[in-house]
Structure 1
Amino acid sequence: MSLAAVEAGAAPDPQEVVGALMRRARAAQEAFADADQARVDEAVRALAWSLYKPEHAQELATLAVEDTGLGNVPDKVIKKQRKTFGTLRDLLRAKTVGEIERDEARGIVKFAKPLGVVGAVTPSTNPGATPVNKAMMAIKGRNAIIIAPSPLGHRTTEKAVNFMREALEAIGLPADLVQILPAPITKEVTQALMSAVELVVVTGSQDNVRRAYSSGTPAIGVGAGNVPVMIDETADLDAAARKICASKIFDNATSCSSENAVVIVDAVYDAAIAALERAGGFLVDPGLKDKVVGELWKNGKLNRHLIARDAETLATAFGLPEEARRSRFFMVEETGVGRGYPLSGEKLALVLTVYRAADFEAAKAKTREILELQGKGHSIGLHTTRPERARELAEEMPVVRVLMNFAHTFGNGGGFDSGLEFTLSMGCGSWQKNSLSENLNYRHFINITHLVTPIPEDKPSEEALFGPHWTKYGK
């Protein structure tokens, strides 16, 4: 762009902006590509500490709430440290340099190689945690990463990126292994980034996910949540209620894994509601249901002034009685599912929709109906003492994850009592046109070379393969 154009206030050319970042990223990645495993893990630790460090976590959490108005500072501090700690644990246990797997029987040895430069689109709900989480995984694969933040969260993400760059320089690595798109963030610049990198990873709006998949670059996108959780007649009701409350209220329900609906079997419905009330829930009078819906949605869209706000703010907006202001979340009873029933969808607020089901089979049917509306592929939960029911859900339901007896938010994206990988990006499979049906992890940030050597011939006879067909249908 010419000096005259700059002085005239012309918008930066997206290709020039991205081109400059890519040149620096490629130089940094090439310098890092031959690092051994110890050096790679040193870099990952440095990135993790740049966010886990208490004063940094506090500063970024405060900045995020100031800029986005979403969530709350104490929970964002916990999220940043917990996710970073868990992800670091997972990454340090993995090998991503040289030989990573050997199968003597098949004569195959696998070697990990870098991808190159990764482009990461990150959301306003987690403008500090998600960029660092993705950067740790990218660096584990010996890649460079350029982050395209949400415009609302740019200031927070820029600060997080600066912390990471300082951490890399402190251990003698190129700061340009981690970069950020400069403000103002536009669709055009983000699209240019998507086209230039070797891999795009998108967490956030479904519009961004769709644009990533159409960019011509290999892309990993994740789907929207709308988690329904069931309580059956065998559940420990108080334990279930405490877990649902802890998960629902965390960071004011910003997580895609936060419970949006609870489906309770009739036999324990009243007792379960009482347990949820003891845990901090407030059951909204049916006469105020329309008021809740009218405030939570404006012109068919979620009211941005009530998304991820505290309980007192919601109680005031909904016109609830004084006692509701001391509650931690709000329960609204519903019967229908679909576009005419907004409460059946994702709310990103401290509002839990409650359904009554005749029995477990009816609860399953209602849960499936909710998923068909929104959130299909993401996850569901079940509170029960009958593990075979959880297995039944895993066999039948169109979701990637089924969690039994968990506080959903703390198990779905990885947990110290959950075997799922720690992540802030959860794939939803083909149900939401995602390319992965698992939690995003380091394996998605490496290329694999297969060394193939001869093995004893493994060729069965025609009879062994076609025999059953010949016997049943003839030759």
Structure 2
Amino acid sequence: MSGVVNEPTGAGKRADMNSLMKGARAAQELFGTSDQARVDEAVRAMAWAIYKPEHARELAALAVEDTGLGNVPDKITKKQRKTFGTLRDLLRAKSVGIVEADRAQGIVKYAKPIGVIGAVTPSTNPGATPVNKAMMAIKGRNAIIIAPSPLGYRTTARTVEFIRAELSRIGLPADLVQIVPAPVTKELTQALMEAVDLVVITGSQDNVRRGYSSGTPAIGVGAGNVPVIIDETADLDAAAMKIAASKTFDNSTSCSSENAVVILDAVYDEAIAALERTGAYLVPPDKKPGIEATLWQGGKLNRHLIAKDAALLARAFGLPVQAEAARFLLVEETGVGRDFPLSGEKLSLVLTVYRAREFVHAKEIVRSILDYQGRGHSMGIHTKNLDRARELAAELDVVRVLVNFAHTFGNGGSFDNGLPFTLSMGCGSWQKNSISENLNYRHFLNITHLVTPIPEDRPSEEDLFGPHWAKYGR
């Protein structure tokens, strides 16, 4: 297909990047003068290219076949749900011309394109993340070039093919959306980062760091390791069902999947029983060392076990046969840090369980987990006491605190909360990210400020310095 350049190496790859950039510049120049109606037509067409049931099924099957991560039914759901929700958000937003006017301040804001966006995307979502970023980029009248994970290249290439065909069908240049040539290398990804006007990275922290040091404005997002609290006021069955649905979705490929549950002692046994009713299997304590030794190899997660079915995990861990029928596994832990790998992100159907004496202790366990891994990302609580949720939001270094949600479904935007739909979660300066919110279309816009005179607003010296003079003297 056009927009996918095949194979040469070295200097030839740099030439290929120049060719992609030339096509992207030409396409963006044409599209950059479009009105809002035409922009929204383009976004709607791109969404349909992936939401279309037969396309969603094909891409889901291809992603599992290529990466071995997750499962087909949930990947279909993910593609359609995220694309549908993002389309809802984008069609409700203005991104052309005047987007805000504050007459009292004499400020009028005009939205302008950034130019060509470079998007680095992960193997966990080789279809959903590229289209999500592409829709946001096109909403800003930009072009986009995608550098996918090598593991998911075929899926991303097919995704781009569907999008390009739909853009052509409505009379827009297909080169608004392109993919770098295979095989994707660090050298080629670096060339993309240096060539574009903005780079947006979801995936390895190595790519995020290289994006920020590329000399190009960059938005990178951080790693997850989500802990959630269940307190004594929670509806235990509702909490368990939400945690189970979230933890098992796409075999726990999401960075927003629960990695630890911290349960208050007053309801610990009842909460474990509720989780077991949803299909959890509580691992015997003597099996924990074997799980740690198997799930981590050489200090890194075992790629043969992440995002796999629970039955495969149970066999690999040498668990009793009844564990093979479980939806996910519960492993009790007391420690946090490098010597306790289960306190970190697992990308698998293993949920670590902590017992807390009371709420203050639960909060400290969560703080320790986040300080070890996932600081800045998010956490959750199942409670009827909103004061506790407010306390967590005020005190913990995370961008998102979710209350009574299935975390995977709520964290990246949901139809029952106000977060923007996205597959890329900013983690603030806590993970050296430039954004502390969900990635959304506003990050793909330049803004011009028209400034006109207003009545003078100049306070007196007494107004500003008076309290200081009164307390400390002049």
- Flag whether TM exceeds 0.5 (same fold): yes
The SS at the match of 2:351 is strand
Give the aligned partner of residue 395 of structure 1.
394
Give the aligned partner of residue 50 of structure 1.
49
C-alpha distance in 1 between matches for 2:11 and 2:44: 35
C-alpha distance in 1 between matches for 2:226 and 2:232: 20
The SS at the match of 2:182 is coil
Query: How many angstroms does 1:21 deviate by?
Result: 0.3
The SS at the match of 1:182 is strand
Query: How many angstroms does 1:352 deviate by?
Result: 0.2
The SS at the match of 2:117 is strand
The SS at the match of 2:112 is strand
Give the aligned partner of residue 300 of structure 1.
299
C-alpha distance in 2 between matches for 1:145 and 1:57: 21
Give the aligned partner of residue 230 of structure 2.
231
The SS at the match of 1:430 is helix
Give the aligned partner of residue 18 of structure 1.
17
Gaps of 5+ in 2: 1-5
Change (3 A) 1:386 1:10: closer
Give a deviation string over 1:69-124, Cα, whole Å, max 9, x none.
00000000000000000000000000000000000110000000000000000000
* 1:87–1:423 Cα contact (<8 Å) kept: yes
Matched AA of 1:408: H
Query: How many angstroms does 1:326 deviate by?
Result: 1.0
* 1:393–1:402 Cα contact (<8 Å) kept: yes
Give the aligned partner of residue 115 of structure 1.
114
C-alpha distance in 2 between matches for 1:11 and 1:369: 45
1:318 and 2:284 aligned = no
Query: How many angstroms does 1:319 deviate by?
Result: 1.0
Query: How many angstroms does 1:10 deviate by?
Result: 5.3
Give the aligned partner of residue 3 of structure 1.
none
Give the aligned partner of residue 412 of structure 1.
411
Give the aligned partner of residue 290 of structure 2.
291
Question: Where do residues 64-463 of structure 1 align in structure 2 (5 Å cutoff)?
Answer: 64-463=63-462
Query: How many angstroms does 1:12 deviate by?
Result: 4.8
The SS at the match of 1:385 is coil
Gaps of 5+ in 1: 1-5
Query: How many angstroms does 1:322 deviate by?
Result: 1.5
Matched AA of 2:387: E
C-alpha distance in 1 between matches for 2:117 and 2:64: 27
Change (3 A) 1:469 1:305: same
* 1:18–1:192 Cα contact (<8 Å) kept: yes
Matched AA of 2:455: P
Change (3 A) 1:443 1:356: same
C-alpha distance in 1 between matches for 2:183 and 2:415: 38
C-alpha distance in 2 between matches for 1:47 and 1:410: 23
C-alpha distance in 2 between matches for 1:415 and 1:10: 43
Give a deviation string over 1:33-60, Cα, whole Å, max 9, x none.
0000000000000000000000000000
Matched AA of 1:467: G
TM-score, normalised by the number of residues in structure 2: 0.98
* 1:282–1:324 Cα contact (<8 Å) kept: yes
Change (3 A) 1:10 1:273: closer
Change (3 A) 1:471 1:414: same
Query: How many angstroms does 1:436 deviate by?
Result: 0.1
Matched AA of 2:288: K
The SS at the match of 2:172 is coil
The SS at the match of 1:13 is helix
Query: How many angstroms does 1:243 deviate by?
Result: 0.3
Matched AA of 2:370: L
The SS at the match of 1:181 is strand
C-alpha distance in 1 between matches for 2:427 and 2:261: 20
C-alpha distance in 2 between matches for 1:363 and 1:136: 40
Query: How many angstroms does 1:345 deviate by?
Result: 0.2
Q: Please tell me the root mean square deviation across aligned C-alpha atoms, in Å.
A: 1.0
Query: How many angstroms does 1:13 deviate by?
Result: 3.1
Matched AA of 1:328: R
C-alpha distance in 1 between matches for 2:82 and 2:11: 35
Matched AA of 2:96: V
The SS at the match of 2:446 is strand
Give a deviation string over 1:113-141, Cα, whole Å, max 9, x none.
00000000000000000000000000000
C-alpha distance in 2 between matches for 1:154 and 1:15: 19
1:63 and 2:62 aligned = yes
C-alpha distance in 1 between matches for 2:152 and 2:77: 18
* 1:263–1:356 Cα contact (<8 Å) kept: yes
* 1:17–1:189 Cα contact (<8 Å) kept: no
C-alpha distance in 1 between matches for 2:473 and 2:152: 67
C-alpha distance in 2 between matches for 1:419 and 1:320: 41
Matched AA of 1:468: P
Query: How many angstroms does 1:15 deviate by?
Result: 2.3
1:474 and 2:466 aligned = no
C-alpha distance in 2 between matches for 1:97 and 1:10: 40
Query: How many angstroms does 1:152 deviate by?
Result: 0.4
Give a deviation string over 1:269-321, Cα, whole Å, max 9, x none.
01100001001110000010111111101111100000000011001101111
Aligned pairs, number: 469
Give a deviation string over 1:201-225, Cα, whole Å, max 9, x none.
0000000000000000000000000
Matched AA of 1:342: P
Matched AA of 2:324: R
The SS at the match of 1:314 is helix
